[in-house]
Amino acid sequence: MTTKALPPSARDRLNWPVIAFMSAIHAGALLAPFFFSWPAVAIAFALHWVTGGLGVTLGFHRLITHRSFKTPKWLEYTLATLGSLTAEGSPIDWVGMHRIHHKYSDTANDPHDSNRGFWWSHMGWLMHAPPSQEEIRRFTPDLNGDPYYEFMQKFFLLPQVVLGAILYFLGGWSFVIWGVFVRLVLVYHSTWLVNSATHQFGYRNFDSDDLSTNCWWVAIVAYGEGWHNNHHAYPQSARHGLRWWEIDATWMTVRVLQVLGLAEKVRVAKYEPEAKG
């Protein structure tokens, strides 16, 4: 499998639809103080875990991208739908981009190459030309052609519209502002910190062939994703926090699914790493 880095002129071309969308989401979140209510705040944080924790971290990342465990297909599709509620792209696009990141981590072919600085790896890369669909789909042969994933490729924002309508029915604009706009901003930046902060700050358990680090505070806000050096050393491990004190909330969720008989063939790095330095 090969891919080509975009030439500088193409890579730096601005992606105006994404810029407009991200600007609208962040602007909407600024309305939060005018629509404040404690139930709305509770909705935002509950949906942060449901969509960012279960959807992106558990579903998009550990299950669909790395296949670190197996679930019934109905549960896989459910988690993928929850991931789509973060409006970070369709499952095919998200998985393809992340697999490209792993193959070319911290090189010119990496979409969010941390060598270009914190801003670029955090969110600047999103505002520029992405890899082509042809390139992305080279990394998603297991998803291409699947009726559900192809449907979500075309209509990945549909679940977000449905959620917004439900929230409006339940609590009016207060629930919409907090449950959609504020929640999306929080999910975005906690996810993006895995691309930026965990390639800049923290410590390393392994000499992985990139700049990945373990960052405890990112692990807190991103449900265990902050143990990123561990992850790059063992990308197919369902457990990212390998030391006893590296708390990994998503790994705990995988263990619950195992007990319930909903997760099998769970892959785990077999040993605790020796301390470095």
User: Which CA distances in Å does 261 have to 19, 73, 124, 129, 196?
Assistant: 42, 13, 41, 42, 35
| Long-range contacts formed by 23-29: CB under 8 A, 24+ apart | 25/87, 25/181, 25/184, 25/185, 25/188, 26/185, 28/177, 28/180, 28/181, 29/177, 29/181, 29/182, 29/184, 29/185
Average pLDDT, the chain: 93
pTM: 0.92
Dump pLDDT digits (tens) for 255-268: 999 999 999 999 99
Q: Which residues contact 150 (CB under 8 A, 6 or more apart)?
A: 92, 144
CB atoms within 10 A of CB 97: 23
List pLDDT tens digits, range 64-78.
999 999 999 999 999
pLDDT of amino acid 10: 55
pLDDT in tens, 189-239: 999 999 999 999 999 999 988 999 999 999 999 999 999 999 999 999 999
How confident is the model at residue 8, as a pLDDT?
47
Dihedral of CA 73/78/83/84: which sign? positive
Name residue 261's amino acid. G
3 state SS of 246: coil
Domain boundaries in the chain? 37-259
Nearest to 245 by CA among 213, 271, 266, 216: 216
Q: What is the pLDDT of residue 277?
A: 40
Per-residue pLDDT of the chain (277 residues; tens, 9 = 90+): 444 544 444 567 889 999 999 999 999 999 999 999 999 999 999 999 999 999 999 999 999 999 999 999 999 999 999 999 999 999 999 999 999 999 999 999 999 999 999 999 999 999 998 888 999 999 999 999 999 999 999 999 999 999 999 999 999 999 999 999 999 999 999 999 999 999 999 999 999 889 999 999 999 999 999 999 999 999 999 999 999 999 999 999 999 999 999 999 999 997 665 545 4
Residues comprising the chain, all counted: 277
Q: Six-digit token pair at 152?
A: 């979500």
Residues 6 or more apart whose CB falls under 8 angstroms from that of 224 comprise: 57, 240, 241, 247, 248, 249, 250, 251
CB 100 within 8 A of CB 131: yes
Helix, strand, coil percentages, rounded to 5, for the chain? 60, 5, 40
Q: Nearest-CA neighbor of 129 among 22, 26, 18, 21? A: 18
Tokens of 234: 């063992």
What is the spatial distance between Cα 275 and Cα 145, in angstroms, rounded to a whole number? 44
Query: What per-residue confidence (pLDDT) applies to 9?
Result: 46
| 1 class by beta-carbon count within 10 Å (0-12 exposed, 13-18 middle, 19+ buried) | exposed
Q: What is the DSSP string of 156-193?
A: TTHHHHHHHHHHHHHHHHHHHIIIIIIHHHHHHHHHHH
